[in-house]
């Protein structure tokens, strides 16, 4: 159990570059420990400086390889880098899928890089709650850039938009043309599109179709037009250009005032989520749980409508 003074020590050590202190702080926020409030409060003065880059895309497009290549490029610029990898936690997968992470091991002994995996399920309050707190730890620890790598399918892909400053969407030739991308809803979430595995057939067709679909989107004057780049991450090709475009987007975010707006909205969402979670907790504490089970049984049986049931719950809070 961490006391407030311990928390301040941990934050100081993390800022001095102690990877164990960073790991301990992330565990404290991830587990929603009793010290959580103290941890968040201690981090606040130091957070807000990192560029948070979300990387998303379907399985097989090369997210881990690309992340590793970006880390190398950022380290070459002497920037401190954090990586938060959201892994699907399936009862079927076990630890096997962590094999992907092995590619990251070239950075494992580099003290300028923090790498952390986080299961996408099973968090108190959900990933949408745990990931921003882990990002805050990495941010306060002095990371210049934090890469948030998500699985390609499911809720986390949508949620990454809510927490990243810049969203990088990875595609691979033949895995989906522009129409498929539009169908999957990714055209509207990407700030930078990268066709990886560009040495494969169809890379220029995929890039051209993407560019075309992007031009169809309505934009106001001065809005960011997402670029489409090609990389072969496994050989490091095109990575410097990709990192430059990601940088350019960050500069645009700052200059246009969009960054400030997004961070304000994010703070608003976070405060609201915490307030709602507290109210929900209060429902439970005051015997609401038992009442909830009772009325739910009546709703399931069709003898009570869910609004009337909710009214009873609220009256009890």
Contact set for its own copies, span 219-258 (CB under 8 A): none
The residue from 225, 255, 268, 290 that contacts its own copies (CB under 8 A) is 268
CB 55 within 8 A of CB 148: yes
Contact 125, 155 (CB under 8 A): no
Binding mask 10-29 for its own copies (x = CB under 8 A): --------------------
Q: Which of 15, 103, 200, 263 binds its own copies (CB under 8 A)?
A: 263
Q: Which two tokens stand for residue 87?
A: 């892994």
- Name residue, tokens 């975010």: 253
Q: Where in the chain does DSSP place strands (E)?
A: 51-56, 81-87, 113-119, 145-149, 166-171, 192-195, 228-230
Q: Which residues pair with 87 in a beta bridge?
A: 119
Answer for which of 76, 108, 251, 275 binds its own copies (CB under 8 A) is: 275
Q: Which is nearer to its own copies, 77 or 265 (CB)?
A: 265
Among 76, 98, 251, 279, binds its own copies (CB under 8 A): 279
Using CB under 8 A, count the residues that bind its own copies: 80
Residue 266 CB, nearest approach to its own copies (Å): 7
- Taking the complex as a whole, the smallest distance from the CB of residue 170 to its own copies amounts, in Å, to 13
Residue of the chain from 37, 77, 235, 254 that contacts its own copies (CB under 8 A): 37
* Cα–Cα distance for residue pair 182/215, rounded to 1 Å: 13
Write out the two tokens for 130: 């745990």
Nearest-approach distance from CB 250 to its own copies, in angstroms: 17
Q: Which of the ranges 7-15, 24-32, 245-253, 278-286 carries the binding residues for its own copies, by CB under 8 A?
A: 278-286
Q: Which is nearer to its own copies, 36 or 79 (CB)?
A: 36
Query: Do 99 and 64 contact (CB within 8 A), yes or no?
Result: no
Binding residues among 46-105 for its own copies as defined by CB under 8 A: 47-48, 58-60, 88, 90-94, 96-97
Return the residues of window 150-209 that contact its own copies according to CB under 8 A. Answer: 151-155, 157-158, 176, 179-180, 182-188
Name the one residue in this structure whose structure tokens are 């004057």.
221
Q: At 47, is the secondary structure helix, strand, or coil?
A: coil
Question: Where does 187-257 have alpha helices with state H?
Answer: 203-216, 239-255
* Residue 76 or 153 with smaller CB distance to its own copies: 153
Q: Does 290 bind its own copies (CB under 8 A)?
A: no
Q: Which is nearer to its own copies, 108 or 279 (CB)?
A: 279
CB 89 within 8 A of CB 260: no
Query: How far, in Å, CA of 245 to CA of 206, rounded?
Result: 19
Is residue 64 within 8 A of residue 104, CB to CB? The reply is yes
Task: Please state the closest distance from residue 66 (CB atom) to its own copies, in A.
Answer: 16
């Amino acid at each position: 159990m961490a006391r407030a003074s311990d928390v301040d020590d941990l934050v100081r050590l993390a800022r001095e570059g102690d990877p164990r202190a960073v790991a301990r702080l992330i565990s404290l926020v991830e587990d929603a420990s009793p010290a959580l409030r103290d941890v968040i409060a201690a981090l606040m003065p130091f957070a807000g400086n990192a560029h948070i880059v979300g990387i998303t895309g379907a399985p097989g497009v090369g997210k881990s390889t690309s992340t590793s290549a970006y880390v190398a490029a950022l380290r070459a610029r002497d920037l401190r880098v954090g990586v938060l990898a959201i892994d699907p936690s399936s009862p079927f997968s076990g630890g096997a899928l962590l094999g992907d992470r092995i590619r990251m091991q070239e950075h494992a002994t580099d003290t300028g890089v923090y790498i952390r995996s986080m299961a996408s399920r099973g968090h108190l309050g959900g990933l949408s709650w745990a990931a921003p707190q882990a990002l805050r730890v990495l941010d306060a620890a002095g990371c210049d850039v934090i890469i948030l790598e998500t699985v390609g399918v499911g809720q986390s892909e949508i949620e990454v938009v809510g927490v990243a400053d810049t969203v990088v969407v990875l595609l691979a030739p033949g895995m989906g043309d522009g129409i498929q991308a539009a169908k999957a809803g990714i055209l509207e979430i990407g700030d930078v599109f990268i066709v990886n595995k560009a040495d494969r057939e169809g890379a220029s067709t995929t890039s051209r179709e993407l560019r075309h679909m992007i031009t169809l989107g309505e934009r106001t004057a001065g809005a960011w037009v997402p670029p489409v780049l090609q990389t072969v991450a496994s050989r490091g090709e095109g990575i410097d250009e990709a990192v430059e475009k990601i940088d350019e987007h960050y500069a645009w975010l700052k200059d246009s005032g969009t960054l400030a707006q997004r961070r304000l909205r994010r703070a608003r969402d976070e405060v609201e989520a915490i307030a709602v979670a507290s109210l929900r907790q209060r429902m439970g504490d005051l015997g609401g749980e038992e009442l909830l089970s009772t009325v739910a049984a009546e709703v399931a049986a069709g003898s009570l409508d869910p609004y009337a049931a909710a009214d009873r719950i609220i009256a009890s809070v």
